[in-house]
Structure formats: structure tokens, C-alpha cells
């Protein structure tokens, strides 16, 4: 390994030994940068790697709120403002009990390169809380009520508001933070800051949201896959696809796959996975979307009412179908491991398009690379969400709303540009077809050059 990279990695490991997800993300990026580091000695001379692995600022705060029984609850809130060399910090908020500094630093670090790849002026950040809206603190088997989620969001924003702003830091949604939560967060920001600005993205259409933002990450993931297939003169028509998750990214990826003529065989959630031998139908998908965003239930309940799907309790999506062409991991980090990768490869998989952040473990990525299949890392193929957030910021600044067609056309163009940037960077440095290397190099170079230009 390149000596400079090895020494920075050793230092990051020593300083952050208790942050496994962050270390995994840093290692994945840094180990692909040798060609660009060797070609540009100024990066080492100006300690670009040492600086890029350290957040510019990390804020940790108390979030007290009152549940429906009048009991005071306390959660921990975070915002990691990782890098603002090319624009205001931008990245989602995640509410999940698994949220900790390691998870948010990994997500914030990935976000720097993802945002750079979109071609839009956005820096990298991420935030959230260990708050779990899916488990009531007082009634077993129930979720938090809407009012509890609202009070939590208001308390969270009461501290966060002083650290963000339309030109400083513009958070968005992520796991368990959708339209409902963004609405409550924006409402509280507007009240206490006494201004109506595009300080959050993923807003409702009646208060500054953009058409196609909810669809953008899933659609973008599929557009990226279509671009990879086009390089081989192929399309998604008739492809047998396995998708994981059943949240925002997964359901819109499934919708776009169906629109482009592919068959979606699986979806999953915390309760397990559903498998439809002949493909999930658009009607079933609409029912799953309703289940997840309106009635807020589990796939286990859905499967009881839907004869055409089989339910596998506690399973993920990877080892259910006997013939697979493409896989789209769209749920969470490290959800597809080496064994899953071996199964997928053995059953015909030629393309993996990551919709989630870091869903494939390092041994799974190594197996895909060895098999030389088309593999797109999340930072490239799920960048459509943040890119459309960037378009929402532009519309807010202009006080305009673009049509769905305008936004979708721009999204398609951005996904093609990201694909081509990653492809060209990999080819330039002698690794043709390696989208992991291409995305890391293309994303890194723009930020590193901006950091160089702006001094230490
Ligand atoms: P959602 O909360 O809408 O959906 C997440 C899905 O993953 C749900 O189906 C959830 O199941 C499932 N899931 C979560 N944890 C587990 C677990 N431990 N075991 C099994 N299933 C689990 O989130 P999003 O769709 O927004 O995000 C999914 C991924 O995409 C994340 O990695 C996120 O960072 C990434 N991403 C999201 C973007 C966006 O625009 N939303 C943009 C770019 C990346 P259940 O329904 O049971 O909770």
C-alpha cells in the first residue's frame, strides 16, 4: 500500500478505535486513492488526507421530550459537519437506536464524495438521534404516536437550529426521517428562527418541497444501473431483480424497475423478506408503500393478506430466488455479506446497484470485483437523492417550482454524469470498469482541489 495512505489509515485507526463503521468507510475510500495521490504530490504536502478524515465540527446535544403519558424522555442528538470545501454541509438526519458517532461519521464521510459527484455545490454532513419512532417508550408492541414524534422533532430542532442555515448546513431525511418528520422539523425551525428559507430538503410540496424528491434516490439508483447496462449494450427489460428494504429508497427503486420492464422478486424489512416468484405487481408495491408510510406496519402483516408472496421470517432478500440478474441493496449498511455475494454470483447476478449507504461488506465487494460484474457503490448510485435535494435548494433560492418532468430530466442527466465521471476516472487511472475506484477518485479530486485552493 502507498506509504502516505498507510500512515494516515494507521493514525485514523488509533484515534477512532471504537468507531468500526467509520473506519470501514475510510479504509474503503483511502485504499483506492493511491494513483491520484501519487500523481499529485501537493495532496500529501498539504495533508489533504489527514484533514479530510477529520470532521470540521461535531455537535452532540441533549434532546429532552415528553411522551403521551407525561413522562420526560431524553435522547442524544448529533450533527457531524464534515466538509464544506465545495458548498454548505448537506446530508440527512437518521432516527434509529443504532445511531452513534461511528455510524454518523461513516455516513458524513461518504456524503462528502457523494455530494461532490453530483456536480452540485454541496459539502458533506450527517446527523440524527438514537430516538426510535418505531417503539413506544410506554406501550409494548406500539409505535410512538404522531404527537410524540412531533414533540421529539421540535426538541431536536430547538438545539439544531442554531447550527444550520440555507447557506451553512441543509439537513434532509434518512432512515425513519421522512415527510412527516421533515414537516415537524421545518415547522419548529421556522418558528424559532423567524424565517422561511430552504434550510431542510424533502419538504412537503406546499412549503417548498420539490416534485420527484421522494422518488429520487430509488429512481436514481435504477437510472445508474441502466447506464451501466448501456455500456454493455443491454437494458433492464426482463431482468430478474432482488431488492432489499421496503422504505423510501427500496420502494421507488422497485417502482422504476417495474416501469423499465424488470421483474422485482423481493422486498424486505426488519420482520423478514417477501418473495414473489412471478414478480411483485405494481398493486402489491402500492400496498407496501401505504403499509410503510401510512399504516406503518410490517411485511409480515402484508404477507398474511397476500397469497402471491411467500414470507421468510428474519431473512434478507439475497438467498431466496433461484435465478437473479441484478441486486439492489436498499435497506442499511453491511446488509449483504460474503455468503450472500457468493449465492448471488452462483445464481447468475451480473449487476449490483447499491441504493443504501455501504450495504455490501468488504468481502462481498471483493467477491463482486473478482467476478468482474457491474458493481456501483452507494456514493455514486444513490446520489440521486441528494442531487434532487440540491435541485430543491435551487428552487427555494429562486422561489420557483419546477415540473416533475423538469426535475426527472435533470435527475436522469445527473445520474448519467455521475456514471460517466466514475467511468472516466477509473479508465484514466488504468482501472477501466471499476466504479468503486472511479467514484472515489472523481469525488475526492474535486474536494481535494478546493481544499488546496482555499489554504490550510
Ligand atoms: P427507510 O427508513 O425509509 O427504510 C429503511 C428500510 O430498511 C426499511 O424497510 C427498514 O425496515 C429496513 N431496515 C432498517 N434497519 C434494518 C435492519 N436492522 N434489518 C432489516 N431491515 C432493516 O430509509 P431509506 O429508504 O430512506 O434509507 C435506506 C438506505 O438508503 C439507508 O442506508 C440510507 O442512508 C440510504 N439513503 C437514503 C436516501 C434517501 O433519500 N432516503 C439517500 C441516500 C441514501 P422497517 O420498515 O422494518 O424499519
Instruction: Tell me the domain boundaries of the chain.
Output: 1-53+433-456, 55-195, 215-372
Residue 316 has which C-alpha cell?
A: 434478507
**Tens digit of pLDDT for each residue in 138-154?**
999 999 999 999 999 99
Among protein residues, the one whose CA lies closest to atom 32 of ligand 1: 356
> What is the C-alpha separation between 124 and 108, in angstroms, rounded?
6
In sequence order, what DSSP letters do the residues of 345-380 get, joined into one string? HHTT--EEE--SSS-B-HHHHHHHHHHT-EEE-HHH
55-195, what's its fold?
A: Rossmann fold (3.40.50)
217 within ligand 1 shell (Cβ under 6 A): yes
CB 108 within 8 A of CB 57: no
CB 229 within 8 A of CB 433: no
174 within ligand 1 shell (Cβ under 6 A): yes
Please identify which residue in the block is written with the cell numbers 451501466: 228
pLDDT on residue 60? 98
Sheet holding 351-353, edge to edge: 310-313, 272-275, 263-269, 240-243, 326-328, 351-353, 374-376
The dihedral sign for the CA sequence 91, 96, 100, 106? negative
From 128, 217, 317, give the residue whose CB has the most ligand 1 atoms within 8 Å, as the site to mutate.
217
212 within ligand 1 shell (Cβ under 6 A): no
Q: How many CB atoms lie within 10 A of CB 137?
A: 15
Index of the ligand 1 atom closest to the CA of residue 216: 40
3-state secondary structure of 253: helix
Alpha helix stretches (DSSP H) within 232-265: 248-259
Index of the ligand 1 atom closest to the CA of residue 292: 46
1-53+433-456, what's its fold?
A: 1.10.285
CB 19 within 8 A of CB 109: no
Report how many helices (DSSP H) and strands (DSSP E) the chain contains, helices first.
18, 12
201 within ligand 1 shell (Cβ under 6 A): no
CB 433 within 8 A of CB 243: no
Among protein residues, the one whose CA lies closest to atom 30 of ligand 1: 356
The DSSP secondary-structure symbol of 262 reads P
**Tens digit of pLDDT for each residue in 305-353?**
998 999 999 999 999 999 999 999 999 999 999 999 999 999 999 999 9
Beta strands in 349-405 (DSSP E): 351-353, 374-376
215-372, what's its fold?
A: Rossmann fold (3.40.50)
Do the domains 55-195 and 215-372 sit in the same CATH topology, yes or no? yes
Q: Which residues form the catalytic set? A: 126
269 CA → ligand 1 middle, Å: 9
| pLDDT averages per 10-residue partition of the chain, 456 residues | 96 98 97 96 98 98 98 98 98 98 98 96 98 96 96 98 97 95 98 96 95 96 98 98 97 98 98 97 97 93 93 98 98 97 98 97 97 97 96 93 95 97 96 97 98 97
> What is the C-alpha separation between 228 and 333, in angstroms, rounded?
23
Amino acid at each position: 500500500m502507498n506509504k502516505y495512505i498507510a500512515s494516515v489509515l494507521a493514525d485514523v485507526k488509533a484515534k477512532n478505535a471504537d468507531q468500526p463503521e467509520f473506519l470501514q468507510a475510510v479504509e474503503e475510500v483511502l485504499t483506492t486513492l493511491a494513483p491520484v495521490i501519487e500523481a499529485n504530490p501537493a495532496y500529501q504536502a498539504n495533508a489533504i488526507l489527514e484533514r479530510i478524515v477529520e470532521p470540521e465540527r461535531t455537535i452532540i446535544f441533549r434532546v429532552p421530550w415528553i411522551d403521551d403519558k407525561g413522562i420526560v424522555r431524553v435522547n442524544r442528538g448529533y450533527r457531524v459537519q464534515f466538509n464544506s470545501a465545495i458548498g454548505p454541509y448537506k446530508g440527512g438526519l437518521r432516527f434509529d437506536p443504532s445511531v452513534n458517532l461511528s455510524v454518523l461519521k461513516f455516513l458524513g464521510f461518504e456524503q462528502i464524495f457523494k455530494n461532490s459527484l453530483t456536480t452540485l455545490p454541496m459539502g458533506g454532513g450527517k446527523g440524527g438521534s438514537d430516538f426510535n419512532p418505531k417503539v413506544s417508550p410506554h406501550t409494548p408492541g406500539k409505535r410512538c404516536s404522531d404527537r410524540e414524534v412531533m414533540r421529539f422533532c421540535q426538541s431536536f430542532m430547538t438545539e439544531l437550529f442554531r447550527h444550520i442555515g440555507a447557506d451553512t448546513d441543509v439537513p434532509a431525511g434518512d432512515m425513519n426521517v421522512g415527510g412527516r418528520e421533515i414537516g415537524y422539523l421545518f415547522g419548529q425551525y421556522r418558528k424559532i428562527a423567524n424565517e422561511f428559507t430552504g434550510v431542510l430538503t424533502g419538504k412537503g410540496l406546499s412549503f417548498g418541497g420539490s416534485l420527484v424528491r421522494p422518488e429520487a434516490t430509488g429512481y436514481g439508483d435504477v437510472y445508474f444501473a441502466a447506464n451501466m447496462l448501456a455500456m454493455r449494450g443491454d437494458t433492464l427489460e426482463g431482468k430478474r431483480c432482488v431488492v432489499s428494504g421496503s422504505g423510501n429508497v427500496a420502494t421507488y427503486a422497485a417502482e422504476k424497475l417495474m416501469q423499465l420492464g424488470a421483474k422485482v422478486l423481493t422486498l424486505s424489512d426488519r420482520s423478514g423478506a417477501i418473495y414473489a416468484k412471478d414478480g411483485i405487481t405494481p398493486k402489491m408495491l402500492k400496498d407496501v408503500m401505504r403499509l410503510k408510510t401510512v399504516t406503518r406496519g410490517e411485511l409480515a402483516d402484508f404477507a398474511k393478506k397476500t397469497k402471491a408472496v411467500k414470507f421468510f421470517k428474519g431473512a434478507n432478500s439475497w438467498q431466496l430466488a433461484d435465478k437473479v440478474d441484478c441486486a439492489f441493496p436498499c435497506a442499511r449498511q453491511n446488509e449483504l455479506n460474503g455468503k450472500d455475494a457468493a449465492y448471488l454470483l452462483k445464481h447468475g447476478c451480473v449487476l449490483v446497484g447499491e441504493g443504501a449507504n455501504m450495504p455490501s461488506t468488504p468481502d462481498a465487494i471483493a467477491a463482486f470485483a473478482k467476478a468482474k460484474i457491474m458493481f456501483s457503490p452507494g456514493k455514486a448510485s444513490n446520489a440521486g437523492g441528494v442531487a434532487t435535494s440540491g435541485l430543491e435548494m435551487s428552487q427555494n433560492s429562486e422561489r420557483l417550482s419546477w415540473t416533475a418532468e423538469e426535475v426527472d430530466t435533470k435527475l436522469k442527466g445527473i445520474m448519467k454524469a455521475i456514471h460517466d465521471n466514475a467511468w472516466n476516472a477509473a479508465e484514466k487511472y488504468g482501472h477501466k470498469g471499476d466504479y468503486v475506484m472511479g467514484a472515489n477518485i472523481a469525488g475526492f479530486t474535486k474536494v481535494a482541489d478546493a481544499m488546496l485552493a482555499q489554504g490550510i
